[in-house]
């Protein structure tokens, strides 16, 4: 899957043209990437135009966990929904972490261990999500070009990037699956031309 994604990402990047992410320094708690800003004739800053914007391809109905959740909540949610990445949000909806199915698997005790079922369950019930999640997740602005999301995923070897407004409020998630869907459409259009 990773080789397919790298191939697809390179094709998508060549289709979208050159652009580089600009690191946002307006947040001390969050690392985020925003679309390049350009001055218009009125002197105001505007987002550079791109026909492929993150907001048009992200998943906007995101299943999240709150900061008071437990590892058990993440495991059950991932199993029930089939989602591989679950954002963790604060009470005001800001992205403060993310947990993946791989994180849950990595933190689970081995089935080969000599733990009883009760001991195994206590680990899941007693582990706070804040201890298990990746803290201070990389985010991207919804108006950023898709190319920036591809660049982040390729360079950091991520399978998803959280989408957040400048204030850190979570508005979506863009995943490898979303980008492969876009690539499928781009390739289908190219073949028809």
Interval 98-156: pLDDT, tens:
999 999 999 888 878 888 888 888 989 999 999 999 999 999 999 999 999 999 999 99
- Which among 83, 85, 78 is positioned nearest to 100, based on CA atoms? 85
Return the percentage of the chain with pLDDT > 90, whole number: 62
Provide φ and ψ at 38, rounded to 5°. Answer: -130, 150
pTM of the model: 0.74
Q: Which residue has the higher pLDDT, 108 or 74?
A: 74
Instruction: Decide if 99 contacts 74 (C-beta within 8 A).
Output: yes
**What pLDDT sits at residue 4?**
52
Output the six-digit token pair for 168: 């850190």
**What pLDDT sits at residue 8?**
52
**What pLDDT sits at residue 7?**
52
**What pLDDT sits at residue 27?**
40
Sign of CA dihedral 83, 13, 35, 142: negative
Output the six-digit token pair for 56: 């048009």
Mean per-residue pLDDT over the chain, rounded? 81
Domains of the chain: 2-192 (3.10.580.10)
| Of 40-49, 77-86, 149-158, 172-181, minimum mean pLDDT range | 40-49
Does 25 score more than 50 pLDDT? no
Tokens 């990746």 belong to: 134
């Amino acid at each position: 899957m990773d080789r397919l994604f790298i191939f697809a990402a390179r094709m998508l990047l060549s289709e979208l043209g050159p652009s580089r992410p600009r690191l946002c320094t307006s947040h001390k708690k969050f690392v985020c990437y925003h679309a390049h800003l350009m001055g218009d004739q009125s002197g105001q800053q505007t987002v550079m135009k791109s026909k492929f914007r993150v907001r048009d391809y992200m998943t906007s109905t995101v299943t999240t966990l709150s900061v008071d959740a437990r590892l058990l909540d993440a495991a059950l949610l991932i199993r029930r929904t089939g989602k591989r990445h679950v954002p963790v949000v604060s009470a005001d909806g800001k992205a403060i972490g993310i947990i993946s199915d791989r994180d849950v698997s990595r933190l689970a005790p081995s089935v080969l261990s000599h733990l009883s079922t009760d001991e195994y369950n206590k680990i899941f019930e007693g582990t706070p999500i804040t201890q298990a999640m990746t803290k201070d997740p990389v985010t991207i602005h919804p108006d950023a070009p898709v190319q920036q999301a591809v660049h982040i995923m390729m360079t950091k070897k991520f399978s998803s990037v959280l989408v957040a407004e400048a204030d850190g409020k979570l508005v979506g998630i863009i995943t490898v699956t979303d980008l492969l869907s876009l690539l499928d459409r781009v390739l289908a259009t190219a073949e028809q031309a």
